[in-house]
Amino acid sequence: MSIVTILRRETGGVESCEQTFEFDKSFEGTVIDLLNELHGRETLTDATGAPARRICFECSCATGNCGACAMLVNGRPALACEVAVQEELRRAGELKLAPLTAFPCVCDLQVNRGILRDRARDTGLWLTGQAHEAEDGFFSACLQCGLCAEACEKYHSGKFDAPCAYAAADLVVALDGEDNARRKAVRKALKKPFLCPCKTISCESACPQRLPLRQAIKRIGGSLFSL
């Protein structure tokens, strides 16, 4: 048998603890397939044989298209439905799952990414009629998965918004740039300074959609700075 270790926390709890589960050594599938397999067991017991409560996690499309299953797989921000269990075991020699740390934990692997929606609302993105038809298609491409925030050191320090928020703002300004009131609202919505001091582009490496976040942050920074 193989082992998966899951960082668990009860709804409303503050303490987390690891729990291990056994699964078939020849299991073929993704991390989400494995979580669904554990979820579907008639009685869930941990690796010691003790009864365990159902595991909370989010999954919708299971094809890398919705962002719901974003989590840490062996410490790396990833979409769980895009990580093959056997490949990960071969690569890391173990399989450890934990919730994203950039957002409040709701329960086990489920987090509350509402702040991403709040930023999109505050920047007025949803009022930008043409957003979905924009040539770069940013917003329809962004999954709001939060992996860029998880990978961003500045976001964790509380001094910077999620990279996707700046990129969304960049789209709003690109589409409604003539509207000064809109630009001012965007400026107010984002944390300052707008300029990203980081050289790692870890947000771009973590983004499953490979969105040009660095370029967007640079552009929006320059544009709002002059207001």
Binding part of the chain for ligand SF4, among 47-55, 85-93, 175-183, 209-217 by CB under 6 A, reads 209-217
Q: Mark residues 105-144: x for contact with ligand FES by CB under 6 A, - for none.
A: ----------------------------------------
**Binding to ligand SF4 by residue 164, rule CB under 6 A?**
yes
- Residue numbers 34-63 binding ligand FES by CB under 6 A: 59-62
Q: Is 81 in the site for ligand SF4 (CB under 6 A)?
A: no
Torsion of CA 86, 90, 93, 97, to 10 degrees: -40
The structure tokens 């159902």 sit at: 54
Binding status of residue 163 toward ligand FES by CB under 6 A: no
Instruction: Render the burial of 3-29: b for 16+ CB within 10 Å, e for the rest.
Output: ebbbbbbeeeeeeeeebebebeeeeeb
Nearest to 211 by CA among 136, 115, 156, 146: 136
Instruction: State the first-to-last Cα distance of the chain, in angstroms, to the nearest integer.
Output: 61
Residue 124 is a binding residue for ligand SF4 (CB under 6 A) = no
How far apart (Å, rounded) are the C-alpha atoms in residues 138 and 103? 22
Interacting residues toward ligand FES by CB under 6 A: 32, 59-62, 64-69, 79, 81
Residues found near ligand SF4 in the complex (CB under 6 A): 67, 142-148, 163-164, 167, 206-209, 211, 213
